[in-house]
Structure 1
Amino acid sequence: MATAHLPRGGWRPRLAKRAAMMTAMGAVGALALAACAPGSDNTASTTVGEVSTELTSEEITLTIADETGFPVTDVLAEEFTKQYPNVTFNITRDTFANLTANAPKLMASDDAPDLIRLPTMGDTVRDGLLADLDPYYEAYGWDTWAPSQLAALRMDEEGSRGNGPLYQLGLGYSVTGIYMNTEVAAELGIDAPPATMAELEEDLATAKEAGVLPIMAGDKDGVVNFVIQAAMNQYSDKSEFLDWMFTKPGARYDTEGNIQGAELVRTWADAGYFPSDINAIDYASFVSRFQEGEGLFSFNGNWAAADNQEKMGDDVSFFLVPPLQEGDKHVAMGAANSFSIPAKSKHINEMAFFLNWVHTNEEARQIIVDVTGASPGGDPSLPQPAVEEGSLIDNALKMSAQISEEDGQVDFMSNTTSGIYAGSIIPESQQLVTSKITGEEFVRAVQEFYERETAD
C-alpha cells in the first residue's frame, strides 16, 4: 500500500486553502455493481419537459441546497459563473442530518431548489420528487461513463437501487480508508501501514500501551460508522451487504459477518481505543483534533485529503483498510457525492448542463480533485486532473483505482434508507462505541429499524 510523505510547508493543493473540513458522507468512487440500461420500464418519476443541451442566454439564478462544511459547490459555482456570466448561484446549507430529513419537504415545495445534496433517495422516486435524468444520459452521451459509477444512482419503481432510471449524479467519486499520523507512528516504532487487520490491532495495542489515543473518532453525528462499517466490510460478504444497502427483497443486515465486525469495534471500545468523549465529538472536531496530533489513526475519506495535507504536511499517510489475510482483496466504502434535480425545479435543463459540465470541463474536473481529493468521474478516456506526485490526493486517486480494480467498492450503510442513519445507526452506534451494547445487539437493532422502515 502506498503512502504519501511530503516536506512540511511543501506542496499545497491549488485550492486547498478554500477547502474547509469535508463532511462525512461525501463519498465516492465507482461502485461494484452493473447498472441497468437507461429507459427501463420501471419509471416512477415526474418526467422532464423538452430536453435541451444548450445553456440559456437569459440571466438566471440556480439554487443549490447543500450540506454544511462542503465547499466544492461554492468553488464550482464561482468557476461556472466565470465561464457563463449570465448564470449565478444561490447556495443554501444545512447539517447533513437535517438536510437528509428535510429533503422531501424541500423538493415538494413550490420553491424547490434546482439541485439538492441527496445522500439517500428513500421514497423520493416513488413520490415523484426527482427528475429522471435518463433523457440527459442519452442527450449528453453519458453511456461512455463506467456503468458502475452510476449504478447506485439508479432506482426502480419498487424503491431498489441499482436498477431503473438515473436520478442522481456525483460531484466527485471517492473512497474511504485510514489516515495515520506518521510522526506519532515513528515514535511508537511503527514504520509502515498495517497489512492485515491483525497488524492493525497490534498497532492499536501499541499506541494504547504508550499512552497514545489509538483511534481519533467522533460519534455526535454518527461518523464513527466509518470505523464500524470498515470493520464489517472485512468480515461480510460484499454482495450480500450491497443487496441490503440497495434494499433487495430478503436481504439482511444481521449476518454473521456484520456481527463479527461490530463486535470487533465493541472490543476496541472496551480496550479504550476511542476518545472518552467520543459521543460529544462531531465530524469537524474529530478531524481538527487528529490534525493537531491527537490519535494514531483516523478513519475517513479522501475528501479530507487536501485539508489533512494542508494541516499536517509530511506527518500523515493514507491507506486502505487492511483485509483479514495479507494479499486478500480490499473492501472500502465509497459512493458518489450524490446530487439530484428536483422534479419541481424551474431550471432542469440548466442544472443538467451544469452537472455535465462538472464531469467534462477541464477546470471543473480539476476543482473536484483539488477541493475534495475525489475522482472527477465521467468518461474514463478524458485526461485526469494534475496532482502532485506523492501527495495524499495522488495516493487517494491510486486507492480509488485499486479498489475499482479489485472490485471492492461498497456503499455507505447510512445511505440505505432515508431514516436509518438518524433513526437507528447513530443512536445504536453511540451505545456500541461506549460498550453499552454488544455487536450483535447493534446489528439486530439496525435490522429491526430497517424492517419497519421498508415495510409496505
Structure 2
Amino acid sequence: MSRIPHRRMLSLSAVGVGALLALTACAPPGGGQSAPTGSADIDPTAGCGTEDVVLDMYIETGFPLPKELATAFTAQYPNVTFDIREDQFAVITQNAPRVLQDSPPDLMRLPQMSALTEGGLLLDLDPYAEAYGWTEWPESQLEQLRVDDEGRRGSGPLYGMGLNFSMTGVFYNKELAEQIGMTEAPATLEEFDGYLQAAKDAGITPIAQFNGGATGGLLFPLQGLMASYGPTAPINEWIFQAPGATIDTPETLAAAEHLQGWIDAGYFADDINSLDYSQMMSRFIGGESLFVFSGDWESGNLDAQMPGNAGFFLVPPLEGSEQMGAMSAPLTYGIAAGAENPDCAAFFLDWIATDEEARTITVEVGGSHPMGPADAFMPEVDPESVTAATLAAGNTINEVNGAMDFIANATGAIYAQSWTPNVQRLAAGEEDAATVLSNVQADYEQEIGD
C-alpha cells in the first residue's frame, strides 16, 4: 500500500492523490501559486451592507441544508445571492488545497482542517467571534474548529464554523422492524445483533450501507461500534493528533472485529462496495433494507418521505455496559483566506446560528441542533417524528460527554488514501480487522511525521 506524503508537503501539493482515487470531478485550474496569507481588509462588523453581493459557496452534494439556508437568507437580504458549487465530500477533500488557493470561495464545506491552516488557506475567524459574541457560546461547540500552530485541533485560532451539530447513528424502518418483532430500539449491542440475524432469516436486507467509489461508508458503523467498546476521548485525541495517539487499541480492534463479523454474517447488502450514498438512502426509503447508518441531517427528509415509519437510535452499548457515544461534530464551513466577501460570509454564519427562521430550518431540514447560545430559540418538533428522536439522542450524547469527531478528519489524506481503501478491502474479504487498523495507523504516523 502506498504511503502518504508528509503533512507539511500536503498543504501545498496534496492534490496529486487524485490519480489514486480515479475521480472524475474536475479540480480548479492553476497551481504553483503561493498560498494566500489572508484577506488584507476585513471589518468584523461590516455585515453584507446594501450593495449587491454574490457569495461563492462550495458545498457537499446530497445535503439540502446549506441551499435552504442560502435561499432564506436571500429572502431576508435581497442584495445577497449565492453562486453554489457541489461535489462529493471525497472530491472536496481531494481538491480543498487547490480550491482555497486558486479560486478561493467565500464559504466552503471543510474536510480535515490542520493542513489547510498550515498552508495559510483559511481565514482566522477570531475577530468575527469577538464581534458577534461567539465566544459566549458553549466552548464545546467551537473547540473542534480551532487549530494551533502545530496543526493540532482543540485550541488556537478559530478557522471554521458549523452550520449545525451533526450526529450519526442508525435509522430503521418501523414496518420492517415489526415483521421481525422489533417494536423499539435495541438496548444492547447483543440485542442489535439478534435483530440483524432475524432480518436476514426473514429475507430482509439487514443493512444497505454505502461504501462504493471514493467513500468509506463503513466508517459510520465502525465508529459507532468503537463508542460501544471503549471511551470516545482517546479517539478524539487521535483525530486531534495528540502526541503518541493511536487508533490501533484493544477496544478499537474489538469494534473492528465486530464489524467484520457483521460482514462475514452477510448483514450488509451484497453490492456494498458499489453502493453510493444516494443509492443507500433510496433503498432505505423504498423499504429495501431494515437499517442504514447515517446522520441526523436525513431526519427532515425521512419525516417527509417516510412519515411515522422511520426510527433512530445510537449504536447501543455492550451488554451490561454504560458506554455510549457517537460521531457528533459541527457541519464545518470555513472562509477562504483570499475570499472576496469575508465579512458577508461571516455575517451569514452568524445569522445561521442566531436567526429564528434559520434555526428552524436547521432543525427541520438538517434534523440536528443548531450552533449558538445555550439559551437560543429552538422550534417545536413533532414528538413522534424521527427529528425528535435524533434531537433526543443528541441530548443523550451531550449528557454523557460521548461526542467524537469523524475518524476520517484526522489528517488531510487519511479518509481518501487509507480509511476508504482499507474498509473496502475489509468488505471484500481481502483484509481483516487487525490489518485495517495497523495500516491506517501506519499511514497516519507517516503523514503527521511521527
TM-score by length of 2: 0.89
Q: 2:437 aligns with which of 436, 443, 449?
A: 443
Contact 1:176 1:320 in 2 (8 A): yes
Q: Please give the secondary structure, in 1, of the residue aligned with 2:75.
A: helix
1:240–1:197 CA distance, 2 compared to 1 (3 A): same
The answer to whether residue 134 in structure 2 is matched with residue 171 in structure 1 is no
The amino acid across from 1:112 in the alignment is P
Q: Please give the secondary structure, in 2, of the residue aligned with 1:372.
A: coil
2:208 is aligned to 216
The amino acid across from 1:250 in the alignment is G
Q: Please give the secondary structure, in 1, of the residue aligned with 2:365.
A: helix
How do residues 56-455 of structure 1 correspond to structure 2 at under 5 angstroms?
56-109=49-102, 111-220=103-212, 221-326=215-320, 328-455=322-449
CA distance in 2, matches of 1:307, 1:385: 17
Give unpaired runs (5+ residues) of structure 2: 1-35
Shift, 1:315, TM fit:
2.0
CA distance in 1, matches of 2:42, 2:366: 34
CA distance in 1, matches of 2:232, 2:65: 30
Shift, 1:123, TM fit:
0.9
Contact 2:114 2:147 in 1 (8 A): no
The amino acid across from 1:277 in the alignment is D
What whole-Å deviation, never above 9, does each CA across 1:106-157 have from its counterpart, x for those lacking one?
1111x31111100211311111111101111111111221100111100001
Contact 1:45 1:132 in 2 (8 A): no
CA distance in 2, matches of 1:47, 1:234: 44
What whole-Å deviation, never above 9, does each CA across 1:257-285 have from its counterpart, x for those lacking one?
11111111111111111111110100110
CA distance in 1, matches of 2:149, 2:273: 38
CA distance in 2, matches of 1:189, 1:311: 24
The amino acid across from 1:193 in the alignment is A
Give unpaired runs (5+ residues) of structure 1: 1-43
Shift, 1:436, TM fit:
2.0
The amino acid across from 1:99 in the alignment is I
CA distance in 1, matches of 2:265, 2:67: 42
Q: Give me the CA root mean square deviation.
A: 1.6
The amino acid across from 1:376 in the alignment is P
TM-score by length of 1: 0.87
CA distance in 2, matches of 1:433, 1:228: 12
1:244–1:47 CA distance, 2 compared to 1 (3 A): farther
Shift, 1:396, TM fit:
1.1
Shift, 1:448, TM fit:
1.1
Aligned length: 412
Contact 1:217 1:224 in 2 (8 A): yes
2:19 is aligned to none
Shift, 1:420, TM fit:
0.7
Q: Please give the secondary structure, in 1, of the residue aligned with 2:317.
A: coil
Percent identity among equivalent residues?
41
Shift, 1:312, TM fit:
1.9
Q: Please give the secondary structure, in 1, of the residue aligned with 2:245.
A: coil
Shift, 1:329, TM fit:
4.1
What whole-Å deviation, never above 9, does each CA across 1:350-390 have from its counterpart, x for those lacking one?
11111101101111111111111011120111111232222
